[in-house]
Copies of this chain bind each other. A is one copy, B any other.
Amino acid sequence: MDQRRTAASSFHSDGIPPFEETPSPARLEGFSDGVFAIIITLLVLDIRVPREATLHGEPLAAALLKQWPVYVAYVLSFLQVGVVWANHHTMFHHIRRSDHVLLVCNLLLLLCVAVLPFTTALLAEYARAGEAELRLAALIYSAALAGAGIFFSAIWQHALSAGLVDARADPHRLHALGWHWELVPLFYGAAFGLAYVAPYLSVGMYMLLLIYYALPGPFVVRWMRVRRARRAAKT
């Protein structure tokens, strides 16, 4: 890896840092955080207070309970976007420089993630509908996440090949993270196929993937890295 990209070597002997033509990803992160923050709160706008005048004697509890798909969609979409954000955070913690290709891939990732409130609300609305409707909703839901997964791993592949990754990071960890993220488009591609055959199973698979990437994922990455480091030490 390119040792000239480390922080220390970017200073001349006279103390003046040279002009870095490839900017740090700080502003890309700030912009993405803004987009993620808006997406994650969009579905709260759909939770409406039932107006007292429109209750017509119906108890408030019943009026609130009738809205349950909105609550489910809010929580699911919040967690889904939160998990994408947490992984984006981990990925860019390892990236020191950005270039135009990285900006474009990141924009396309955000384009796919920004439709999540829509695809989640669609899935929540047609979760109890006929199988044809659920199949279509499940296909659209998994297509958006598969698209996000493709651009997510494209960012990582490009950052590795263009030398944008921090040269000081542990290569075993980078390898484990690569596996972790390259599987996302494959998993959601599989969920897309499954949605044709068995839409209910496909919905179950989303839940499992959401939980995996939220919770045990980081521990699997740590385990893969340690195992690979041990193997490398043996040879």
Contacts and interface: CB of A to CB of B under 8 A. Distances in A.
B40 A37 contact: no
B8 A218 contact: no
Interface string A212-233: 0011001000000000000000
Given A16-B6, A16-B7, A21-B173, A49 B118 contact: yes
Given A38-B37, A103-B89, A132 B31 contact: no
A8 B14 contact: yes
Contact residues on A (Cβ < 8 Å of other chain), bracket:
35 or more
Given A39-B41, A42-B45, A104-B214, A31 B31 contact: no
Given A19-B166, A85-B31, A60 B133 contact: yes
Given A60-B132, A60-B137, A168-B18, A121 B49 contact: yes
Contacts of A51: 125
A56 interface: no
Nearest to A103: B86
A154 interface: no
Q: How many of these chains are in the complex?
A: 4
A34 B27 contact: no
Given A19-B166, A60-B137, A44 B114 contact: yes
Interface of A: 6-9, 14-19, 21, 23, 27-31, 33-42, 44-45, 47, 49, 51-52, 59-61, 64, 74-75, 78-79, 82, 85-86, 89-90, 92-93, 100, 103-104, 107, 110-111, 114-115, 117-118, 121-122, 125-126, 129, 132-133, 136-137, 140, 166, 168-170, 173, 214-215, 218
7 contacts: A19-B169, A30-B30, A31-B36, A38-B38, A38-B41, A44-B115, A49-B118
